[in-house]
Structure 1
Amino acid sequence: MSKKILFFFPENPFSNRAGNVTRAKTTLAILKKLGHSIDLVGVKHIYKDMQDTNDFDEKIIDNLFFISPRPPKKKTTIEYWKYKILKAYKKPSSSNQSLTDFTKKEFRDIFNKKKYDVLIINYEFWAGLLDPNSMKNCLKIVDTHDWITLNEFYKNKSLDVGRRFNEEINNLSKFDKIVTISNEEFFVFKSFLGDRVVNIPPSFPKNFVDENREKQYDLIFTGSDNPFNIEGIQWFLKNVLPLLSETIKICIVGRVCKHVPDYRNITKIIFAEDLSSYYTQSRIAICPMIKGTGIKIKVVEALSYKLPVVGTERAVDGFSSKLDNGCLVNNDPEIFKDYIIALLQDRAYYETMRNRAEDYFKNNFSENRTLKLWNDIIN
């Protein structure tokens, strides 16, 4: 049965900029394949800050709406002065400065125009958008993406972890269903919130290609310019790259390129509308992440192309199995280098790892599996 879904994601999920937007886009595609009608809500100033366009796929989304943390600066309007007075007495959430009373009102107004059957909020720190009165009869789902407390702790070691985690659990408790993408995070949240927590790993269409074709690149790394990607690629450049021959050709795609110096054997592509041409032209994906939480979308996407992955231990965060998954992981630069060399020089070993990548992807990240999991939640 088709449902009316209101899907909140602060950025443009069709921007193809980073793993989080890729995940939101694939979730939207899954929901559309299940036959539902979907309206999308974004945050106006976040679109502007991210330099996102208002473009969206009309085959997936019916309407795009925006909310803002404050009204237009027209001092003659009642709405403007009402907001100014409330702001003087009530501070926005310390975890989300964009979550103001005006934001909540705009979101509530959008919801009340259609009275949606299902409301999906991405990220727990937007839980304040829920209105217990007007939204009480709809199915309320939060897609966590990450364990936010741990993510924030990596960025700020002075964080009051107890206070922030209590806030996170309290926010999640407001929803009927809590979606995780990582096995570790599923275990943590389920321990506090019970059967409302459902693990739905990210999915991609199967993109397996013929390995006999000639490859342009030996290694590929994709990433936005978030702090974890920057730290990871700089660790690789400092500790692993000097151990590799300059004949090894490397492709780096995404805004993380802004933080990569020029090298003779590294090709930098700051933006790619479609990553498939770069994945199919590469032999191995690397994920040298030092910090970060949750499943690395770039790793799952690489596996969808049947590419072996060489990474640090963070590369397989959230995986149900740390072995036999198409990934070789170690935090020692020498061993990291050895894995790359072994895959490039030993054809039989390379094929073994490719087959493991294919099997693990089919069993854990297939689109059909994700379709069933989302269908079970919504229906």
Structure 2
Amino acid sequence: MRILFVSIHFPSDLSTCTQGVYKRMSLFIDAIKEIGEIDMLFFVPPETQVSPDAIAQTERNFSQHWQTKINLFLCPKEEQNSLPNWRQQWDGIFNFFKQSDFFISPQQMQALEKCLSRKPDAVFVHRLSSMSAFMQVQQPLPPVFLDLDDIEHISFMRQIRQPPTGLATQLYYLQVPARFWGEMQAIRKARCSFVCSSGDRRYLTKRLGLPNVVTVPNAIAIPEQQPIAQEPTLLLIGGYNYFPNMNAANFLIERVWTEIYKAIPDARLIIAGPYPQNIRSYNKKVPGVEFPGFVDDIDALYQNSRVVCCPIFSGGGTRVKMIEAAAYGKPIVATSIGAEGLEMKDGQEFLMRDRPKAFAQACLELLRNDDLCKRLGDAARAAAIRHYDRINIVQQIKQQIQSQL
């Protein structure tokens, strides 16, 4: 059996592409490699090397990383640079396929048709941004499986509401109906669509009446549990080329950290992950705040952190960073959107706070209270093992796909 995997999220460096989107991608690849041989098509940034030698080397790297034979195809994405921004925005109001996230060039369509000519028995499409290509294919398709880790129209509206805002940003609300239409059509075209949480599934099936939507939660390999760190250290981890993470860091540093540092002057706030230069305070030398960038030793990072923060205010799906912290047995403070969709309860497995002062007070309480840290950390780890163990989720994906082929 041959399965075609298609995505626009190209892991150019497998050692550093460890953000949630890549962890979820790898989850599905590990499942489908047990079903059949994988053809991979990535729509890659224009600067990516796509010579035959470069593709062959990347193919070998991918095959080694995922421990299976992979046939790799790369096609550069094309931007709508020939049109002014206002025209791109205007066209996107009326046409889903003209929105920048879903624009597919003729060259990309040719690459997809070349892969389809290899007669795959099934197609796995990673996110709506890639599904837009299949929605424009004129030929009959094999069964299509879609991973819709974010409900895009909800995530898009949340993103618009987040700073920085202005007239141009607010005008994007006019694109929401077209995005909603495209998302609904994509789900109907798929044999099965996967979402991150039971709440997302209920929304799509019961409120919108869409068929064949299945919950596949984010998951991680369960690590060894770690003891409570005694140093008063807070941790935020993420990639800061993603607006929800950038805004989370800005919120934590500018609206929460001042109160914590005033109460505990030897406290530290670690903002870990790539692209920290996108954070407003990166060059301001805020006392107690550290930006280590990408961290290779994730175990040591968590071991040295007492409290993990997840102050997310936009985006969709579920936060892998919160599942990961729970699996390590770390006490967590999160916003309601940060904890959205997870099988974890406020006050039992984590503390949920949306306002800056309340968020700071929850962090201070955990920095001072070992018993509370242990109770929340133990309960969070138990929830992670119960609901988000990677081994179990991979088998669940495999069974779902096989049952519909």
Q: TM-score, normalised by structure 2?
A: 0.78
Structure 1 residue matching 2:314: 3-state secondary structure: coil
Q: Aligned Cα RMSD in Å? A: 2.8
Q: Residue by residue, what CA displacement relative to the aligned partner does 1:84-138 show, whole Å, maximum 9, x if unpaired?
A: xxxxxx996335464123211211212322x2222111122322332766553x3
Contact 2:45 / 2:76 at 8 angstroms: preserved in 1?
yes
Give, in whole Å, the separation in 2 of the partners of 1:329 and 1:196: 32
1:238 aligns with 2:248: no
Structure 2 residue matching 1:237: 3-state secondary structure: helix
Shift of 1:30: 3.8
Tell me what 2:243 maps to: 227
Q: Residue by residue, what CA displacement relative to the aligned partner does 1:254-283 show, whole Å, maximum 9, x if unpaired?
A: 235211332342221222345333123222
1:65 aligns with 2:73: yes
Tell me what 1:146 maps to: 150
Give, in whole Å, the separation in 1 of the partners of 2:247 and 2:368: 28
The counterpart of 2:117, out of the listed 112, 117, 137, is 112
Shift of 1:12: 2.5
1:313 aligns with 2:336: yes
Change (3 A) 1:376 1:142: same
Shift of 1:320: 3.8
Give, in whole Å, the separation in 2 of the partners of 1:109 and 1:241: 53
The amino acid of 1:157's aligned partner reads Q
Tell me what 2:218 maps to: 202
Change (3 A) 1:30 1:246: farther
Give, in whole Å, the separation in 1 of the partners of 2:96 and 2:243: 28
Contact 2:334 / 2:352 at 8 angstroms: preserved in 1?
yes
Shift of 1:359: 1.6
Tell me what 2:166 maps to: none
Q: Which runs of 5+ in 2 are unaligned?
A: 50-56, 79-94, 161-168
Shift of 1:142: 0.6
Structure 2 residue matching 1:252: 3-state secondary structure: strand
Matches within 5 A, 1:87-106: 93-96=98-101, 98-106=103-111
After superposing on structure 2, the runs of 4+ consecutive aligned residues of structure 1 that deviate more than 6 Å are: none
Change (3 A) 1:281 1:95: same
Shift of 1:147: 1.1
Q: TM-score, normalised by structure 1?
A: 0.83
Change (3 A) 1:135 1:17: farther
Q: Residue by residue, what CA displacement relative to the aligned partner does 1:212-270 show, whole Å, maximum 9, x if unpaired?
A: 6x666721111212111111111111111011123112221123521133234222122
Structure 2 residue matching 1:185: 3-state secondary structure: helix
Matches within 5 A, 1:38-187: 38-45=38-45, 48=48, 54=58, 55-56=61-62, 58-60=64-66, 62-69=70-77, 93-96=98-101, 98-113=103-118, 115-130=119-134, 136=141, 138-153=142-157, 154-155=159-160, 156-158=169-171, 159-160=173-174, 161-187=176-202
Contact 1:311 / 1:327 at 8 angstroms: preserved in 2?
yes
The amino acid of 2:62's aligned partner reads F
Give, in whole Å, the separation in 2 of the partners of 1:251 and 1:41: 37
Contact 2:249 / 2:271 at 8 angstroms: preserved in 1?
no
Contact 1:223 / 1:256 at 8 angstroms: preserved in 2?
no
Give, in whole Å, the separation in 2 of the partners of 1:377 and 1:162: 31
Give, in whole Å, the separation in 1 of the partners of 2:137 and 2:96: 20
Structure 1 residue matching 2:218: 3-state secondary structure: coil
The amino acid of 1:222's aligned partner reads I
Q: Residue by residue, what CA displacement relative to the aligned partner does 1:325-349 show, whole Å, maximum 9, x if unpaired?
A: 6221111222212221222222111
The amino acid of 1:343's aligned partner reads L
Structure 1 residue matching 2:371: 3-state secondary structure: helix
Return 127-136 or 217-226, whichever deviates more.
127-136
Tell me what 1:367 maps to: 390
Shift of 1:144: 0.8
Q: Which runs of 5+ in 1 are unaligned?
A: 71-89
Shift of 1:63: 2.7
Shift of 1:193: 4.9
Give, in whole Å, the separation in 1 of the partners of 2:47 and 2:361: 42
Shift of 1:58: 1.7
